[in-house]
């Protein structure tokens, strides 16, 4: 049985599949050639990440497909319901990348709180001639300990982030439509796990004024509307800091820039954008935005876990 891992798969996942009798191809096929290649090569499974879209047209045109796998969490690039209605198994890997995404959020929060993301750019250019001025500029950062973090969306990634945030001494509040409360484990080397319960609320607008930091962990909305826009920014405290490592379009980018320019938002960290893979230049160049190129789940460890998890799911249903 042949598998096309169009956006790649870890060596560990590929090896596991091949040991179980699958033939795995990792050559990337352009979107407009994908239907022909799947049919001509008689692939039974298609593995993607965020770069490849699996829409109704492809599903209808590829009757041999039995399995569609998404390496990662969000599946908004796949017409999941339609594929399942056609009898195709669709799976993702929600457990594999939670830690990697959570660590990038924490790292981004430290970076925007201390303005190191901008300092790293300015020091090579001006550090030898404007050292004292830069020291004064970047000497007004804030600490994370004791601050309140609002997590919007309390699934696996949100809960993993809560564990890190509690570990550095932050207060955590969460908004979620489905989870009422969760005991969050905080791992301490030499001690083991200690637990802290985080109760959630569905009242987003009621929690926004309480947050010093906000991190978003919800999928792109079905109607394409932004969850965080001017009406939400208006309810936040002045100087709030925001991280979006979920999906582009969850934050209205025009409203974010306005909130940064008027001081409502002190700084933001973005890993995702509405116009990937060509984000707006005014976002990339904004002095109060720390930008990364959609790398939330892109660690060596996460990629290994994702590949193995996909392999296990394929073996379970197709062998």
- Residue 309 annotated among the catalytic residues of the structure: no
Determine contact, residues 319/102, Cβ cutoff 8 Å: no
- Residue 53 annotated among the catalytic residues of the structure: no
- Which residue out of 15, 53, 274, 276 is catalytically annotated? 276
Task: State yes or no: cis peptide before 191, omega within 30 of 0.
Answer: no
Q: Which of 162, 151, 6 is nearest to 70 (CA)?
A: 6
Rounded Cα distance between 190 and 187, Å, is: 9
- Which residue out of 247, 253, 286, 309 is catalytically annotated? 247
Q: Which of 206, 204, 169, 207 is nearest to 186 (CA)?
A: 169
Parallel/antiparallel/unpaired status of strands 192-201 and 171-175: parallel
Q: Which of 71, 48, 74, 72 is nearest to 59 (CA)?
A: 48
- Residue 247 annotated among the catalytic residues of the structure: yes
- Which residue out of 70, 114, 286, 294 is catalytically annotated? 294
Determine contact, residues 314/69, Cβ cutoff 8 Å: yes
Rounded Cα distance between 163 and 84, Å, is: 34
Q: Which of 267, 202, 282 is nearest to 236 (CA)?
A: 267
Burial zone of 125 (CB within 10 Å; 0-12 exposed, 13-18 middle, 19+ buried): exposed
Catalytic amino acids? 247, 276, 294
């Amino acid at each position: 049985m042949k598998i096309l891992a169009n956006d790649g798969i870890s060596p560990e996942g590929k090896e596991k599949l091949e040991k179980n009798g699958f033939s795995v191809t990792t050559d990337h096929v352009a979107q407009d050639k994908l239907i022909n290649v799947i049919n001509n090569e008689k692939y039974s499974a298609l593995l993607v990440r965020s770069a490849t879209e699996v829409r109704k047209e492809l599903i209808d045109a590829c009757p041999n497909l039995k399995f569609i796998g998404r390496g990662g969490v969000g599946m908004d690039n796949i017409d999941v319901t339609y594929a399942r209605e056609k009898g195709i198994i669709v799976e993702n890997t929600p457990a594999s990348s939670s830690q990697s995404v959570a660590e990038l959020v924490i790292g981004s929060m430290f970076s925007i709180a201390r303005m190191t993301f901008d300092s790293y750019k300015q020091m090579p250019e001006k550090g030898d001639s404007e050292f004292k001025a830069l020291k004064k500029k970047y000497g007004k950062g804030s600490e994370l300990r004791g601050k309140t973090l609002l997590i919007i969306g309390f699934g696996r990634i949100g809960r993993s982030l809560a564990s890190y945030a509690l570990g550095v001494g932050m207060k955590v509040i969460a908004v979620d439509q489905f989870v009422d409360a969760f005991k969050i484990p905080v791992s301490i080397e030499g001690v083991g796990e200690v637990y802290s319960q985080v109760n959630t609320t569905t009242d987003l607008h009621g929690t926004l004024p309480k947050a010093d930091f906000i991190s978003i962990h919800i999928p792109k909305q079905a109607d394409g509307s932004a969850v965080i826009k001017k009406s939400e920014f208006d309810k936040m405290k002045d100087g709030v800091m925001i991280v979006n490592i979920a999906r582009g379009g969850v934050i209205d980018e025009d409203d974010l820039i306005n909130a940064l320019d008027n001081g409502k938002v002190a700084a933001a960290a973005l890993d995702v954008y509405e116009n990937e893979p060509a984000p707006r230049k005014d976002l990339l160049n904004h002095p109060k935005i720390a930008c990364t190129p959609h790398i939330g789940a892109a660690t060596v460890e996460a990629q290994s876990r994702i590949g193995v998890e996909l392999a296990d799911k394929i073996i379970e249903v197709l062998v």
